[in-house]
Amino acid sequence: MRIHHLNCISTCPLGGRLMDGRSDGILERGSLTCHCLLVETADSLVLVDTGMGLRDVADPRGRLSGFFLMLVSPDFREEMTAVRQIERMGFDPRDVRHILLTHLDFDHAGGLDDFPHATVHMMGAERDYAEQQKTWLDRQRFRPQQWNTRGQWRTYPGGTGGPWMGFDCVRDLEGLPPELLMVPLPGHTHGHAGVALRHAAGWHLLAGDAYFHEHEMDLRNPSCTPGLRFYQWMMEKDRDARLGNQERLRELLRGHRDEVTVFCSHDVAEFERLAGRPAGVPATPPAH
C-alpha cells in the first residue's frame, strides 16, 4: 500500500496566529490544511476524507454556510481539490472505488460528489446524527448539498472489530483490504472516527478532528492555541469523550511512537512533514 498526502483546500480562519500559532499576526487570516490521503491498494485507489470539492469551488454560497465562509474563508483553488490533484498525479479519478470519511463536516465531505461511483464508508452514528440537522450549528456544519452520493454510503455500527493498540476498531470494511481500519474517536461529532492504515514500516493514524494542533500531542506539556481551543469547544458534541480521546492518543504515542504515526486533519506542520512539500502546493506524480 502506498500512501500519498493531499491538502484538499486550505482554510484561512479569522484570528491568524491565535488559531494556527504560525501566522505573523492576529489581524491577518491563519492557514489550516484539510489533510486527506490517497491510498494505492493492490487493485484500486482509496481516498481518506475528501476536503472540499469542485462544486464547493464553483458555488461556495450554494453549498456552504455563510457563517463558516466568513469564519474560515476557504482558499478555493480548483487545483487543490482531490479530483484535480489525483488527475495531476497521473491517476484516473474513476479508479477511486472507496472513500473513508472521518466525519461529515463540510470541510471533509465536500469532495464526495467528485467521485460518484465510489463506495463511501463511515460510522453509522455519523450519518444518523448529521441527517437529523438538529441544531442551527449542525445545519451550518453538515451540508446535505454535499451528499449526492448517499446511495453509495456504507455505515458501521461501532467498534466491533476487537482491539487495535488499545482502541476499539472497525475491521473488515466492505471491499477493503485488512490494512485499513476505522478507529472510533467520538467527541468532535458523535460518529467521528480516525482511519488507521498499515504500511511497510508500521501504521499511520489519521485522527481527523480528534485534535487540531500538533502541540496537543506533546507528551510532557500538551498545549493548544487559544483560537483552536475555542473552535474545538464550539464544535464539540461530547467534551469528556473528546478530551479522553486526546489523552488516549498521547498514551498511544507514549507506548508505540516507533510503530504509529499520528496526525490530524488541520495542522500545517504535520502535513508538510509527512507530505514533504508546502501545504499550498498540489501533489505531483509519484516516483516509481
| Residue with Cβ nearer Zn ion (188 or 204) | 188
Shortest Cβ 105–Zn ion spacing (Å): 5
Shortest Cβ 284–Zn ion spacing (Å): 25
Which residue stretch of 80-88, 178-186, 205-213, 215-223 sits at the interface with Zn ion (rule: CB under 5 A)?
Answer: 205-213
Which residue stretch of 43-51, 102-110, 128-136, 166-174 sits at the interface with Zn ion (rule: CB under 5 A)?
Answer: 102-110
Residue nearest to Zn ion (CB): 209
Closest CA to 273 of 285, 287, 262, 284: 262
Closest CA to 193 of 161, 146, 145: 161
Cell matching residue 255: 507506548
| Residue with Cβ nearer Zn ion (49 or 114) | 49
Count residues binding Zn ion (CB under 5 A).
3
Shortest Cβ 150–Zn ion spacing (Å): 21
Cell matching residue 266: 488541520
Q: Where are the beta strands (DSSP E) in the chain?
A: 2-7, 35-40, 45-48, 96-100, 119-123, 153-156, 163-164, 167-168, 180-184, 193-199, 202-206, 260-263
Which residue stretch of 17-25, 88-96, 99-107, 145-153 sits at the interface with Zn ion (rule: CB under 5 A)?
Answer: 99-107
Cα distance between residue 256 and residue 164, in whole Å: 12
Q: Does residue 209 interact with Zn ion by CB under 5 A?
A: yes
Cα distance between residue 264 and residue 34, in whole Å: 9
Shortest Cβ 60–Zn ion spacing (Å): 17
| Residue with Cβ nearer Zn ion (107 or 214) | 107
| Residue with Cβ nearer Zn ion (91 or 104) | 104
Shortest Cβ 285–Zn ion spacing (Å): 28
Which residue stretch of 18-26, 79-87, 128-136, 203-211 sits at the interface with Zn ion (rule: CB under 5 A)?
Answer: 203-211
Q: Kindly tell me the burial class for residue 117, based on how many C-beta atoms sit within 10 Å of its own C-beta (0-12, 13-18, 19 or more).
A: exposed
Which residue stretch of 35-43, 75-83, 107-115, 241-249 sits at the interface with Zn ion (rule: CB under 5 A)?
Answer: 107-115
| Residue with Cβ nearer Zn ion (49 or 113) | 49
Q: Does residue 113 interact with Zn ion by CB under 5 A?
A: no
Q: What DSSP element (H or E) covers 84?
A: helix 82-88
Cα distance between residue 110 and residue 107, in whole Å: 6
| Residue with Cβ nearer Zn ion (56 or 105) | 105
Q: What is the DSSP letter of 286?
A: P
| Residue with Cβ nearer Zn ion (16 or 208) | 208
Q: Are 13 and 74 in contact (CB under 8 A)?
A: no
Shortest Cβ 259–Zn ion spacing (Å): 26
Output the CA–CA distances (angstroms, integers) from residue 119 to 180, 192, 215, 263, in the order listed.
14, 18, 34, 24
Residues that bind Zn ion (CB under 5 A): 105, 107, 209
